Amino acid sequence: MERNFFNKDQELLWTQLRMLLWPIYSFVESFEQLIEGLISAVQSVFRIDVLDFLPPGSHHHQDVPLKLEIILLDDNMLTALTMEVSMHDYKMIPASSEAIQTLLKKSTVQTQDECCSICLEGLDINVYTMPCNHMFHHQCIVTWLQNSHMCPLCRYPLPLQKL
Contacts of 64-70 with CB under 8 Å at 24 or more apart are 66/42, 68/17, 68/38, 68/42, 70/34, 70/38
Residue pair 144/133 in contact by the 8 Å Cβ criterion: no
pTM of the model: 0.46
Distance separating alpha carbons of residues 124 and 159, to the nearest angstrom: 28
| CA separation for the pair 3, 68 (Å, rounded) | 18
- How many Cβ atoms are within 10 Å of 151's Cβ, its own excluded? 20
Which pLDDT does position 122 carry in this prediction? 87
pLDDT computed for residue 160 by the predictor: 81
Strand ordering across the sheet containing 135-137? 105-107, 127-129, 135-137
Average pLDDT of adjacent 10-residue blocks, the chain of 163 residues: 49 63 59 73 63 62 67 70 68 87 85 84 87 91 92 88 59
In the prediction, which pLDDT does 68 show? 66
pLDDT at 49: 56
Q: Where are the domains of the chain?
A: 5-51+64-87, 92-163
pLDDT at residue 1, as a whole number? 40
Long-range contacts of residues 151-154, Cβ cutoff 8 Å, at least 24 apart: 152/117, 152/118, 153/117
Decide yes or no: CATH 3.40.630.10 for domain 92-163: no
